[in-house]
């Protein structure tokens, strides 16, 4: 699994790729929360995720909750089929803001 | 009753670093039986969640260490996975079910285990172990009349629950 943080203008983009499980989901949580501490909108690029378990989903839920408390945009972008299946099973596809395209997600977060 | 044939067994330390190996075993077993990628993903996730539950709430949460024993069997219609451990017993009824709250973490692992398999129950522990969870997933039917029967619907899975304490 890889986690990288980039910037698109004022938007922070967390790029996740590979398999997210109990061993590395803490890195996802740390990256997301670190971005939110900067008090700028966050887009999570999930296009490269090949596997995610409940601990990975929980990291995203925590980010979502913190962002909501701060009144900050928190958008999941380009969600891979494997990740979308888990979000649907968890009934979170209607909780998160999910945008199919990364550019559109960044644009939406910038509003 | 269909007879089960053991096709693989794996004993690994009950820690997060073992999950990758468990997933690899399950993917190989599913592929060897011609399962498609979606079916395989769902089986892998269900078993991963079961093992994760043992690690988080059985061992690590109780500050004890122990093994996880994964046994993969096949029957005429699907794969049967038994996950055994040495953590404090959960009893045959399993963890206490609680409603799934989609906006909060927790409870999701058991929900996934139940919704991604056709059978999910704790059974009499295998010799030398304190808990054994049995998961069974039926292969998708093939042919023009095939439907996605490899996974139970939400209606069949109205109970979900909290992870083992």
Each of the 165 residues of chain B gets a pLDDT tens digit; together they read 569 999 999 999 999 999 999 999 999 999 999 999 999 999 999 999 999 999 998 897 667 789 999 999 999 899 999 999 998 867 666 666 555 565 555 589 999 999 999 999 999 888 788 899 999 999 987 766 555 445 554 444 444 333 443
In this prediction the ipTM stands at 0.93
In chain A, which residues have their Cβ closer than 8 Å to the Cβ of B68? none
Name residues whose C-beta falls within 8 Å of residue A104's C-beta, 6 or more positions apart in sequence.
A77
**Option in A65, A82, A89 nearest B112 (CB):** A89
Tokens representing B2 are 């269909």
Helix ranges, A1-111 (H): 25-37, 54-70, 81-89, 102-109
Numbered residues of chain A with Cβ closer than 8 Å to any chain B Cβ? 19, 21-23, 51, 53-55, 57-58, 61-62, 65, 82, 85-86, 89-92, 94-95
Which chain A residues contact residue B55 at CB under 8 A?
Answer: 22
CB-based burial label for B98 (10 Å; 0-12, 13-18, 19+): middle
In chain B, whose CA is at the least distance from the CA of A89? B112
Instruction: Say how many CB pairs under 8 Å bridge A and B.
Output: 65
Strand duo A97-99 + A74-77: pairing: parallel
Tokens of A17: 């790729």
Asked if the Cβ–Cβ distance from B115 to A89 is below 8 Å, we say yes
Q: B163 near B95, Cβ under 8 Å?
A: yes
Whether pTM > 0.80 for this model: the answer is yes
> Torsion angle of alpha carbons A32, B107, A95, A8, nearest 10°?
10
């Amino acid at each position: 699994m890889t986690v990288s943080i980039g910037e698109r203008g004022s938007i922070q983009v967390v790029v996740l790729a590979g398999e997210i499980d109990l061993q590395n989901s803490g890195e996802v949580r740390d990256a997301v929360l670190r971005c939110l501490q900067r008090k700028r909108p966050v887009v999570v690029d999930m296009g490269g995720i090949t596997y995610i378990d409940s601990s990975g989903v929980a990291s995203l839920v925590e980010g979502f909750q913190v962002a909501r408390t701060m009144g900050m945009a928190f958008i999941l972008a380009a969600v891979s089929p494997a990740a979308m299946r888990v979000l649907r099973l968890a009934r979170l596809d209607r909780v998160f803001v999910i945008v199919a395209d990364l550019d559109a997600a960044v644009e939406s977060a910038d509003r | 009753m269909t007879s089960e044939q053991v096709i693989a067994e794996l004993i690994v330390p009950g820690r997060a670093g073992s999950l990758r190996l468990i997933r690899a075993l399950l993917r190989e077993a599913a592929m060897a039986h011609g399962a498609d990628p979606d079916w395989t993903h769902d089986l892998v996730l269900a078993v991963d969640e079961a093992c994760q539950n043992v690690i988080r709430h059985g061992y690590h949460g109780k500050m004890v260490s122990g093994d996880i024993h994964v046994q993969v069997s096949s029957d005429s219609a699907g794969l049967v996975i038994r996950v055994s451990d040495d953590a404090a017993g959960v009893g045959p009824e399993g963890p206490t079910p609680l409603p799934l709250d989609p906006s909060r973490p927790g409870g999701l692992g058991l929900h996934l285990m139940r919704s991604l398999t056709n059978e999910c129950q704790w059974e009499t522990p295998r010799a030398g172990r304190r808990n054994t969870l049995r998961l069974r997933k039926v292969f998708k039917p093939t042919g023009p009349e095939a439907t996605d029967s490899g996974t139970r619907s939400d209606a069949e899975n109205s109970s979900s629950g909290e992870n083992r304490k």
